[in-house]
Amino acid sequence: MAEAIVSAILEQMTAITIDKAIEAWSLVQGAEKEVKRLETNFKALRLELEDAEEKEYVDKRVKHWLDKFRDVSYDMEDVLDEWETAVQQLQTDPSGSASVRKWKVCPFVSCFSSGSQVVRRYNIATKIKKVNEEVDETVKDKVRFELIKRKIKQPKRPETTSFVDVSELIGRDAMKEEIISILLCDYKCRNVPTITLVGMGGIGKTALAQLIYNDHRIQTHFSKTIWVCASDPFDQTQIARAILGDLDPDSLISLKTPTLQSVLSKISERLTREKFLFVFDDVWTDRDQDWETLKVAFKYGMPGSCILVTTRKESVARRLESPHVVPLQLLSEEMCWLILSQKAFSGRSQASREILEDIGREIANKCKGLPLAAKTIGGLLQDKKGREEWQDVLNNVIWKSSFAHEIFSPLLLSYHDLPSPIRQCLSYCAIFPNSFTIYKDELIQCWMAQGYLNSDGNRRRELKGEDYFKYLATRSFFQDFEKDTSGSIISCKMHDMVHEFVQFLTEHRFVTEVVARNSTLDLSSKRVRHLRLEIPSWDASPLSTCLIEKLRSLVVVSDGLSSGDGLQDLFSRSKLLRFLEFDWLRLRPEQIAGGMKNLIHLRYLSLISCSGLENLPESVCELINLQSLNLRDCLDLKKLAVGMGKLINLRYLCIKECPRLSYYPKGIRHLTSLTRLSGIRMRVDQSDGNEFSIGDLENLDLLGGSLCVELIGDALNWAEANRAKLHNKIHLKRTDIWICSPNIKKEEVLKALNPPSTLLVELFDYQKWLPFNEARIQRMKIREKLIVARIVSRAALKFIADCSSGSGKSTSD
């Protein structure tokens, strides 16, 4: 069919010479051969990449080649993806040969218009030829740099995995007791005393503070202990709300407009009855104005109250006027060895320990006194079987290189020991800010959107993502795990040093920019492919952009008040996006619909916590490659798109915490590729042609993990419930079912669904659903109050600024 269309077009291309026409025909006709050549070159170059990455920090020529290679590889992936999408669209075109016969007799201009698919295929083939020429140049450069191939290790599941962190803090016992003795002394002074732990990232400040905080003597001595993560940017209002929320949740809820003034008033009032310990972890700000109002409120605490701060900056201790500044020193080589050996020799025999101990001690010396480095390298050595492998770790050339800072050397070694596919998964975490809570399922979907989880055969990509996540977690790249009742990880964080490490690795490719209204975003001097935009305060002003066309990820984060008016040009021009996220923006459906038609590469669309979005626009359903759709916490969302059934490649649909969402289209039943479905209401009393019902789960047999549903309707239709065929959902681990009607009984639902014995089913009747739903409504109201408070605060600031501006003008006159 395609060749007939091409022939009809080319015969009428009278505007070009016959030689050009023949060349064009040959190019399009032989496009499959060009694609094959491109794929072959790409695979061959990737064999060189691992060795080159280890050399780029000691050889500038190799680094230059690698930068060029990365650009070309991105171009290769883009053009191959466009080619595959065009073929897929061509194959699913219902008009077929009838269109060809029509084109053969049409004038050239209308034929050109009607045959847009053919012209597009020709354009793709031209791009493929151009990229192949760039690849040829890259191959020639590779020969000059004499990059040596090395065998690539395939990732494997560790025989034994453990998510138990090394909780024993070695080498800090004396310091812990010293600080606790200070805290237990009841100071009688005008201001609340502050103890500040100062040290570099990864030295163990947070771990020491956690040990102190959880000590039974501390919990007994203080009537209230509160932990606050105070990472950059330092937000007084957010911190004050967090403290009040722990001190007195009812007081926070009672505040109609919780301004900083009103929250601090409540805190100071409550503290008069409390002897408290506040821990401010990971403080960066050393500006007096950030601390002044908080310090005034804290002084109302009862005698004996204390504040414990951890920071990397000594200037923070000076600003807080800390009477006790405790600098954390590097651990001794012996202490590093104990930490490393605890991890490295887990499960090994005493004989193995004796054989490897001398090399292990030398490796521990390379950790330079950093407990996190010792822990990370210890995890690396777990899978190293003999002296030769341990010797390779010790003699690795990376140890001798100067890599931004010596602290990164241990992590760099662990990074290069990761299999290449897992390495790029770790690097992608640079898209997140520091101290960010990373949801595991969402992270895996991000990896999938970038093409990092392509699986062989029938192996599911989500399972490969789970394997990669566990691989990284067992090597201490992730921490602070939140788990569900079954012990499965829900979310995690990255240690600040590890996060800075991946940011350094991806410099210029992953960029975070803070933008203001009427600003210009110029990326011309960088090789940016993944961009995070933070908009602290922005109205509907347009954003001027330069060189954003090659972005593959775009994350736009706001304060809940900024609109998306100035962003339409941004994401409509970024046609190569795989991942697009708007977080805490005010959006209208038409703002999204306007730029969606060009995003043929998009795999993951995330509209987290976006207000104003009452219905999902139908244009989203035209994203043929979309695999993940995340609408979590969209409080105003009432209706999903009617055409959802067209998203045949969709694997992940998250609609949790959307309390106003009431329309779930019937077309969801056609999404047979779904592996995750989070938060959905379904009818249990009937099956009509419009709304999703429980029986529509019938063909969604790839669903896995946990499924949470709410059943609506006045009666139970047994046939409809039985049609769900839960016995075919072999990948599901757990199903939580909330019954939203007093007329439906748990026992009847369980009998009608007839789940297999291997599936854990938890049913919650109407009496339990009511408080669950009420709590959800309360969370929604609190968040809406916060947004209102921000609007009032912004309006007040604008009014003050306008008054000041007007006053200044009259004075000058």
What would the pLDDT profile of 83-134 be if each residue is shown by its tens digit? 777 766 665 554 433 333 333 333 333 333 344 555 555 676 777 778 777 7
Percent with pLDDT over 90 in the chain: 17
The pLDDT of residue 469: 94
Are 319 and 337 within one domain? no
Q: Give me the pLDDT at residue 517, please.
A: 63
Predicted confidence band of residue 285 (pLDDT cuts 50, 70, 90): confident
774-799 average pLDDT score = 63
Rounded Cα distance between 49 and 14, Å, is 46
140 CB-contact burial (10 Å; exposed 0-12 / middle 13-18 / buried 19+): exposed
Both 1 and 74 in one domain: the answer is yes
Long-range own/partner contacts, residues 258-266 (CB < 8 A, 24 or more apart): 258/785, 258/786, 258/789, 259/789, 259/792, 259/793, 260/236, 260/293, 263/237, 264/240, 264/293, 264/294, 264/296, 264/297
| Whole-number Å distance between alpha carbons of 682 and 69 | 49
Q: What is the pLDDT of residue 218?
A: 87
Domain assignment present for residue 705? The answer is no
Rank 51-55, 90-94, 131-135, 392-396 by mean pLDDT and report only the highest. 131-135
pLDDT score of 292 more than 50:
yes
At residue 549, the pLDDT reads: 82
Question: In this structure, are 176 and 319 located in the same domain?
Answer: yes
Burial 148-177 (b: 16+ CB within 10 A, else e): eeeeeeeeeeeeeeeeeebeebbbbeebee
Determine the angle formed by the axes of helices 461-473 and 440-449, rounding to 10 degrees.
120
pLDDT at 620 over 60: yes
Residue 247 has pLDDT above 50, yes or no: yes
What band does 631 get if pLDDT is binned at 50, 70 and 90? very high
What mean pLDDT is predicted for residues 194-222?
Answer: 85
Give this prediction's pTM. Answer: 0.67
Supply the CATH number for residue 317's domain.
3.40.50.300
Give the closest residue to 35 by CA, choosing from 5, 79, 97: 79
- Looking at residue 641, its pLDDT comes to 93
CA distance from start to end of the chain: 77
Sequence-separated (6 or more) residues with CB below 8 Å from residue 98: none
Rg of the chain over CA atoms, in angstroms?
30
| Among 327, 347, 378, residue at a domain's last position | 327
Q: 304 and 232 in one domain?
A: yes
Does residue 758 form part of some domain? Answer: no
Report pLDDT for 458.
46
DSSP for 695-756, please give it: GGGTT-TT--EEEEEEEESSS--HHHHHTT-GGG-TTEEEEEEEE--TT--HHHHHHHH---
Given 327, 359, 375, which residue is the final one in a domain? Answer: 327
Q: Looking at the domain assignment, is residue 546 inside a domain?
A: no
Examine the pLDDT at 425 and tell me if it is beyond 90.
yes
Tell me what pLDDT residue 189 has. 63
Domain that holds residue 141: 1-92+110-145
250 in any annotated domain: yes
Same domain, 323 and 337: no
Residue 384 lies in a domain: yes
In this structure, the answer to whether residues 178 and 323 fall within a common structural domain is yes
Amino acid at 427: S
**pLDDT > 70? residue 644:** yes
Quick one: 319 and 172 in the same domain? yes
Q: So what's the pLDDT on residue 398?
A: 35
DSSP assignment of 102-170 equals HHTTS-HHHHHHHTHHHHHHHHHHHHHHHHHHHHHHHHHHHHHHTPPP-PPPPP---SS---------T
Number of domains within the chain:
4
In a domain, 182, yes or no: yes
> End of a domain among 503, 530, 556?
503
Whether 329 has a pLDDT exceeding 70, the answer reads yes
- Selection from 256-270, 291-305, 439-453, 496-510 with the highest mean pLDDT: 439-453
Indicate whether 621 belongs to any domain. no
> What value does the mean pLDDT take over residues 700-712?
90
**Mean pLDDT lowest among 380-394, 571-585, 640-654:** 380-394
Residue 272 sits in the same domain as residue 379: no
Residues 222 and 118 in one domain: no
> Does residue 183 fall inside a structural domain?
yes
Asked whether residue 192 falls in the same domain as residue 303, the answer is yes
Residue 270 and residue 175 in one domain: yes
Question: 718 vs 118, which has greater pLDDT?
Answer: 718
The yes-or-no verdict on residue 37 having pLDDT over 80 is no
Percent of the chain with pLDDT over 70: 71
pLDDT at 199 over 70: yes
Cα–Cα dist 267/239, whole Å? 11
- What is the distance between the alpha carbons of residues 580 and 564, in angstroms, rounded to a whole number? 13
Residue 159 reports pLDDT greater than 50: no
pLDDT of the residue at 402: 33
pLDDT for res 667: 92
The yes-or-no verdict on residue 742 having pLDDT over 70 is: yes
Query: Are 254 and 356 within one domain?
Result: no
Average pLDDT, the chain: 76
